[in-house]
Amino acid sequence: MKTTIFSTHKFEEPYLVKANNGKHQLKLLESRLTEETAILATGSKTVSLFTGDDASSKVLEKLNALGVKHLVLRSAGFNHVDLKKASELGIKVARVPAYSPYAIAEHTMALILALNRKLIKAHNRVREQNFSLNGLTGFDLNGKTVGVIGTGKIGSVLVKILHGFGCKILAQDVIEDQNLINSYNVIYTNCETICKQSDIISLHVPLTATTKHLIDKEHIALMKPGVMLINTGRGRLVDTKAVIVGLKTKKIGYFGIDVYEEEEGLFFEDHSNDILQDDVIARLMTFNNVLITSHQAFLTETALANIAETTIYNLDCFEKQILSGNEVTIE
Ligand code: NAI
């Protein structure tokens, strides 16, 4: 099946080509899908998207006018797709529901450890032959309280890792996982209690109308002074401007993110020769207790192979007009 793949990154191309094994006619484009670039899908019945692509109402109308019938997402998250509009236009959407929750949970842990033990600062110092330890003091994770918001596939893996570190785990989810309660002593509570009692808070819920700015000024006010806040979920789960105030007042002691509210058009791209236009991320980058990675938590060999294989499987199913089980529909 003829498919235009938007936002093809160098790191995923070999995995896609291998999984496809010549089956489908893939048009691999580096361009992001936007209103302006939608025209590049001409001739394809199927379009494949990454998280930074724009599948809002206007873009979907353009794709529909070109005869596009299917969207195949190379991600678990689907907040960048206007599902209502897609349904109205009869455009079917499929995603990769799970490719490696370990990849994201492990990266979350890497952010926690790097921030706590000040690894970036230590590394930079040693490279400059500064072997002093002043200012590098961390804290034992053992015995600390960690609030995990969202205990689905990724959150539950993180719980298991944190349990291994000897942390006490508070959690919030609309569905309580009995196995996590029984095997890892997880205590389910509400977001307010998590904010009040946690030394570290990590976000693993999808971005929806309900979860947008879940961490806002009011929730930050409830947090322990010096709390560590980690977001590898979606940027808009957090009100970044409120976090900046929290960092300036030292209410937030550490902020680790792999996702950012305005990451579209910024993350995944080399802007090293550009003037940074986004003043909010520019301010975040000035704090020495902020660690930012540009949406790379998923970036492991296992995850890339699984994403490519499921994407090709979803194409197979659309071509044969059979259900893949990976369809995304409006709840
Ligand atoms: P999942 O669907 O397995 O788990 C999400 C959990 O959130 C579920 O247990 C669900 O019941 C809970 N939930 C949903 N709405 C809620 C609400 N309003 N309040 C409390 N709990 C709620 O999803 P998974 O695979 O664990 O992924 C979580 C999120 O992580 C994704 O939606 C995506 O945005 C993000 N993600 C980030 C990646 C990265 O590279 N940084 C890669 C993959 C996913």
Distance of CA 303 from the midpoint of ligand 1 (Å): 16
- For residue 216, give the 3-state DSSP assignment: coil
127 and 274 within one domain? yes
pLDDT at position 312: 98
DSSP, res 117: T
| CA 259 to ligand 1: nearest atom | 41
* Ligand 1 centroid – CA 150 distance (Å): 6
pLDDT band at 97 (very low <50, low <70, confident <90, very high): very high
Q: 95 is in which domain, residue-wise?
A: 2-99+301-324
User: Is residue 331 in a domain?
Assistant: no
Tell me which residues have their CB closer than 6 angstroms to ligand 1.
Answer: 76-77, 98, 101, 104, 150-155, 172-175, 204-207, 210-211, 232-234, 258-259, 295, 297-298
Q: Which atom of ligand 1 is nearest to the CA of 172?
A: 20
Judge whether 225 lies within some domain.
yes
Give 163-219 as a DSSP string. Answer: HHTT-EEEEE-SS--HHHHHHH--EE--HHHHHHH-SEEEE-SPP-TTTTTSB-HHH
Same domain, 121 and 225: yes
- Does residue 330 belong to any structural domain of this protein? no
* Whether 149 and 201 share a structural domain: yes
Q: Distance between CA 86 and CA 92 in Å, rounded? A: 7
Domain check: are 77 and 18 in the same one?
Answer: yes
CA of 233 to the centre of ligand 1 (A): 7
pLDDT tens, 268-279? 999 999 999 999
Catalytic residue selected from 107, 234, 236, 261: 234
Do 84 and 152 belong together in one domain? no
Nearest atom in ligand 1 to the alpha carbon of residue 296 is 40
The residue whose CA has the least distance to atom 20 of ligand 1 is: 173
Task: State yes or no: pLDDT of 331 exceeds 80.
Answer: no
74 and 108 in a single domain? The answer is no
Domain CATH code at residue 54: 3.40.50.720
Q: From atom 15 of ligand 1, which residue's Cα is the shortest distance away? A: 205
Does residue 119 sit within a domain? Answer: yes
pLDDT digits (tens, 9 = 90+) for 42-67: 999 999 999 999 999 999 999 999 99
Active site (annotated) includes residue 128: no
Residue 117 included in any domain: yes
Q: What is the mean pLDDT of the chain?
A: 97
- Catalytic (active site) residue 36: no
Instruction: State whether 165 and 251 are in the same domain.
Output: yes
Residue 329 lies in a domain: no
Q: Is residue 6 very low, low, confident or very high in pLDDT (cuts 50, 70, 90)?
A: very high
State which ligand 1 atom lies nearest to the alpha carbon of 210.
18
Question: 168 and 135 share a domain?
Answer: yes
230 band by pLDDT with thresholds 50, 70 and 90: very high
173 C-alpha to center of ligand 1: Å?
A: 10
Structure tokens at 55: 């599948």
191 and 238, same structural domain? yes
Assess if residue 139 is contained within a domain: yes
Substitution site in 9, 104, 205 for ligand 1 pocket (most atoms within 8 Å of beta carbon)? 205
Ligand 1 closest atom vs CA 206? 32
218 found inside a domain? yes
Residues 63 and 93 in one domain: yes
| Residue 331 bears catalytic tag | no
pLDDT at 158 over 80: yes
**Protein residue with least CA distance to atom 37, ligand 1:** 233
Q: Is there a single domain that holds both residue 213 and residue 268?
A: yes
The pLDDT score that the predictor gives to residue 330 is 81
- Does 69 lie in the same domain as 157? no
- Sequence-distant (≥ 6) Cβ neighbours of residue 167 within 8 angstroms: 141, 142, 143, 144, 145, 146, 200
Which residue out of 24, 70, 95, 295 is catalytically annotated? 295
CB 326 within 8 A of CB 94: yes
Count each helix (H run) and each strand (E run) in the chain, helices first.
12, 12
Query: In the predicted model, is pLDDT for residue 87 greater than 90?
Result: yes
Q: Looking at the 3D structure of the chain, how many domains does it have?
A: 2
